[in-house]
Structure 1
């Protein structure tokens, strides 16, 4: 279940949520110097004023493409079990309620917990393949603020069938609806059989803090996930992208569509839509990326 939840659409997905405005250089007017400086004293005063002003304004570092920016205080780190509480708190505030399928199922309210979903997240964290973005300048109870996460797990043949068999014992009806769709779709369109691999790098959740969206954080998290997969010897990555924004992000990193499930066609025996997902999200996509080359190949794929 991968959706970047964007306030722009309510991520109603990586669904994967971006409301923070982008700031093109042409619109960043911080200081306009006078046309003439009549004296050295006036020059010194101007320099002093600019120095004071720049201390009050955090000026973004523009990327090479010029369309996204990130703050110099941003750091990316591997997620360990010791970060579990921080990561779950981030997801409660920024992902659980807004992800398209979660929202359609009424899984939980913003800021509230969901035991079944949190257990699903904690399971991925234990695989030590996940990455987080932290703002080193923002402290929460003495630790850096988590502003983005991508939760990755190790998926082996048989894992999905086992997870599906356990759904009946889960007392959360909304959770059962969501994962019944995901698990059955993955079993029907089986990447293991198609690619003949012993395990897959499973990108499960992509989330960015609503105050930090539009800075390229989600893209960087996916890029680093691909690097982690390569470093650990994986041949194949997969992601179940539930919203159009996360789908776009993954395709920009060389992921390809293996299968799709339109939400309007996922119905019960009476023909009623089981998960009435709000527009513009119209389908779930199972995406994959085969790792068969070096970093140069990834860069070529992203530039397409």
Structure 2
């Protein structure tokens, strides 16, 4: 498959390489962790939570050729958006449960526990009879580019990558109201949602308190 996936209005979408990761990490520090609802509302420097493990996980996805970069061709190739995505198989359900249980009780650890509970409850592999799927882990767009359709372009491009690699399905856990709405507009279906107000710890305290309209975690799927 071609490395470059299309240019529009000077913004090129291409396959991410491992060599890109240093700049990707800087971009995420300035755009993702302070914008994603669960991270942004935590009061914690979430990029520092399980940083080494997350770096390793992100690089493992990049090596699969399933991660995308959007770069501004008129501004020295500056990163303006990205997708981190990778393959998941049924054994990952138990792998993720063990990893989440062993994490520190920081924001990223709590998010991992929450997502693991949902993915085991829904069990897409059993539900749809598939042996692998493309998991859209993080989609992030530079603040200056939001509202211009770039997130939708990235999601659509990822679907094409998934089809070219033989994935039967793509899934995304949308913590943001806007990301869920965008993916729904691209044909993705919400098959499960969980209100943050209903997710509580052992003491009965609500774990995540992002600002409205981010009220639910939504699991979005599409057959490719």
Secondary structure of 1:205's partner?
strand
The alpha-carbon distance between structure 1 residues 101 and 171, as it changes in their structure 2 partners (threshold 3 A), is same
Partner of 1:79 in structure 2?
16
Q: Which runs of 4+ in 1 moved over 4 A?
A: none
2:108 is aligned with 1:175: yes
Secondary structure of 1:105's partner?
coil
Structure 2 counterpart of 1:132, from 51, 69, 76:
69
Secondary structure of 2:96's partner?
helix
The alpha-carbon distance between structure 1 residues 132 and 172, as it changes in their structure 2 partners (threshold 3 A), is farther
Partner of 1:151 in structure 2?
84
For 1:222-241, what aligned pairs fall within 5 Å after superposition?
A: 222-241=155-174
Give the length in aligned residue pairs: 216
Deviation string 1:208-240 (CA, Å, 9 cap, x unpaired) is 011222221111001101111111111111000
Secondary structure of 2:74's partner?
strand
Question: How many Å apart are 1:253 and its aligned residue?
Answer: 0.8
215-224 vs 268-277, which deviates more?
268-277
Tell me, yes or no, if the aligned pair for 1:117 and 1:175 is still in contact at 8 Å.
Answer: no
**Distance in 1 (alpha carbons) for counterparts of 2:32 and 2:56:** 15
Tell me, yes or no, if the aligned pair for 2:100 and 2:116 is still in contact at 8 Å.
Answer: no
Question: How many Å apart are 1:160 and its aligned residue?
Answer: 2.7
Tell me, yes or no, if the aligned pair for 2:162 and 2:170 is still in contact at 8 Å.
Answer: yes
Question: How many Å apart are 1:265 and its aligned residue?
Answer: 0.3
**Distance in 2 (alpha carbons) for counterparts of 1:164 and 1:102:** 20
Tell me, yes or no, if the aligned pair for 1:105 and 1:177 is still in contact at 8 Å.
Answer: no
Question: How many Å apart are 1:136 and its aligned residue?
Answer: 1.3
Structure 2 counterpart of 1:186, from 116, 119, 127:
119
**Distance in 2 (alpha carbons) for counterparts of 1:215 and 1:71:** 11
**Distance in 2 (alpha carbons) for counterparts of 1:107 and 1:226:** 33
**Distance in 1 (alpha carbons) for counterparts of 2:154 and 2:125:** 25
**Distance in 1 (alpha carbons) for counterparts of 2:113 and 2:42:** 12
Question: How many Å apart are 1:281 and its aligned residue?
Answer: 0.5
2:218 is aligned with 1:270: no
| Larger radius of gyration between Structure 1 and Structure 2 | 1
155-164 vs 221-230, which deviates more?
155-164
Greater relative CO (CA pairs within 8 A, separation 6+): 1
Tell me, yes or no, if the aligned pair for 1:177 and 1:275 is still in contact at 8 Å.
Answer: no
Question: How many Å apart are 1:126 and its aligned residue?
Answer: 2.5
**Distance in 2 (alpha carbons) for counterparts of 1:82 and 1:233:** 25
Secondary structure of 2:145's partner?
coil
Question: How many Å apart are 1:172 and its aligned residue?
Answer: 5.6
Which blocks of at least 5 consecutive residues in structure 1 are unaligned? 1-69, 292-304
**Distance in 2 (alpha carbons) for counterparts of 1:195 and 1:93:** 37
Tell me, yes or no, if the aligned pair for 1:97 and 1:107 is still in contact at 8 Å.
Answer: no
